[in-house]
């Protein structure tokens, strides 16, 4: 039976030009023969967990993932797997997500430790896609992104801004420093609240631990960067209704999100268990349905390839600074985190997997028309 599992995987990967124990940097090097059976029987968990356990490697996991996606193996799996191989690689690589957002995401991901993120992210602690136009490094690219958001929402001094999912306060601090805005940021992570408040000391910024469903105040502008991925399909309508309620009639709302090229309802089991529990990456159709009769779409900007560069920059900093934090994390965590960053980078690089969108919304349209900013 193990030979059947191995033959199926070999034939499938061959379609993408990937060899078992080959010489190319994207080829899979198998260290444990039980990998094949584990991948077959446990699907996404088997593939991801066996990598975490050191049962297989690839010199460039990001290129491996990119090649699999470009070869569209998800469309060919049925020919080679039948009922034998439920979800191998397909489940790992495609963002099938489940259920609704809950506070558990703060506890299991964002509260892993501020030291982890300080040794991986830019100096302003942005944990979302940077904007690499005319940028020479990660710090510049992230400042580009923050300024792009401020310009897209036509931010002016004295405006009251709500940041839904504020992280460690990167946008809030930038908007307060550079544009003299007053910002309220909310997050579900106690670690983000603690460090974010310190980073924003002396500025007109409030960072609170709060669920978006408890929001009631009105704001001139609303920003939400990389947070709706944790809301869940069942809650999209409520999320946008609350944003509509909290936005002044002449205001603008900028949403930045990873986008899915397909409308799905479930997260792959490995990512759900180890990285982003209770998440979902939305499609255009899902966002369109949720915003119908609530918002006018003023601008839709797609720049997913910038996330590839961002993730690889995070990977270089994480691995380069690992010695600074290795006493706080296990070697299995190290492999898990590498797999997460590299798999995601490969997906964006392929151009057929994840997308990255910045969407500008208004309640009643912009008088004279909205002028797009790039």
For residues 139 and 174, state if they share a domain.
Answer: yes
Per-residue pLDDT tens digits for 176-191: 999 999 999 999 999 9
Question: What CATH number does the domain containing 144 carry?
Answer: 3.40.50.150
Enter the pTM of the model: 0.91
For residues 142 and 25, state if they share a domain.
Answer: no
Question: What is the distance between the terminal CA atoms of the chain, rounded to a whole angstrom?
Answer: 55
User: b/e per residue, 4-39, with b = 16+ CB within 10 A?
Assistant: ebbebbeebbebbebebeeeeebbbebeeeebbbbb
Residue 121 has pLDDT above 80, yes or no: yes
Which of 39, 70, 93 finishes a domain? 93
For residues 27 and 147, state if they share a domain.
Answer: no
Which of 67, 93, 119 finishes a domain? 93
Residue 340 has pLDDT above 60, yes or no: yes
Please report whether residue 99 resides in a domain: no
Residue 80 has pLDDT above 60, yes or no: no
* Tokens describing residue 118: 């300080």
Average pLDDT on 113-130 reads: 96
For residues 265 and 299, state if they share a domain.
Answer: yes
User: What pLDDT sits at residue 108?
Assistant: 58
Conformational region of residue 154, where left means phi above 0, alpha means psi within -120 to 50, and beta covers everything else = left
Confidence bin at 38 (pLDDT 50/70/90): confident
H helices within 215-366, ranges in order?
236-246, 269-274, 284-291, 305-320, 322-325, 331-350
By residue range, what is the domain housing residue 70?
A: 2-93
* Tokens describing residue 180: 């003299």
Please report whether residue 85 resides in a domain: yes
Confidence bin at 107 (pLDDT 50/70/90): low
Average pLDDT on 134-163 reads: 98
Please report whether residue 371 resides in a domain: no
Query: Quick one: DSSP state of residue 24?
Result: S
For residues 352 and 218, state if they share a domain.
Answer: yes
User: What pLDDT sits at residue 76?
Assistant: 62
């Amino acid at each position: 039976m193990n030979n059947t599992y191995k033959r199926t995987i070999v034939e499938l990967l061959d379609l993408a030009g990937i060899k078992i124990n080959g010489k190319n940097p994207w080829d899979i090097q198998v260290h444990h023969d039980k990998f094949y059976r584990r991948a077959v029987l446990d699907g996404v968990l088997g593939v991801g967990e066996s990598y975490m356990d050191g049962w297989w490697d690839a010199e460039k996991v990001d290129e491996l993932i990119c090649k699999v996606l470009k070869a569209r193996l998800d469309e060919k799996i049925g020919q080679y797997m039948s009922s034998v191989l439920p979800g191998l690689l397909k489940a790992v690589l495609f963002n099938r997500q489940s259920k609704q957002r809950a506070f558990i995401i703060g506890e299991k991901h964002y509260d892993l430790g501020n030291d982890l993120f300080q040794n991986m992210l830019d100096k302003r602690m942005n944990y979302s896609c940077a904007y690499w136009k005319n940028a020479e490094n990660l710090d510049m690219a992230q400042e580009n992104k923050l300024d792009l958001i401020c310009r897209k929402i036509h931010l002016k001094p004295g405006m009251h801004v709500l940041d839904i999912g504020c992280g460690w306060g990167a946008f809030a601090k930038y908007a307060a420093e550079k544009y003299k805005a007053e910002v309220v940021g909310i997050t579900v992570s106690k670690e983000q609240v603690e460090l974010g408040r310190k980073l924003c000391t002396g500025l007109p910024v409030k960072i609170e631990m709060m669920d978006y469903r408890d929001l009631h105040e009105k704001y001139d502008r609303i920003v939400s960067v990389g947070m709706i991925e944790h809301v869940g399909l069942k809650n999209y309508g409520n999320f946008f209704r609350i944003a509509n309620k909290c936005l002044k009639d002449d205001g603008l709302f900028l949403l930045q999100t990873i986008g899915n090229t397909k409308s799905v309802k479930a997260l792959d089991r490995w990512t759900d268990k180890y990285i982003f529990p209770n998440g979902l990456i939305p499609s255009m159709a899902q966002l369109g349905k949720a915003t119908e009769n609530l918002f006018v779409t003023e601008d839709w900007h797609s720049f997913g390839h910038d996330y590839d560069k961002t993730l690889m920059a995070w990977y270089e900093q994480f691995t380069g600074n690992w010695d600074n934090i290795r006493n706080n994390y296990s070697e299995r965590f190290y492999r898990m985190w590498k797999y997460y960053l590299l798999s995601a980078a490969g997906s964006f690089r392929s151009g057929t997997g994840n997308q990255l969108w910045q969407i500008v919304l208004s309640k009643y349209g912009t008088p004279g028309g909205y002028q797009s900013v790039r």
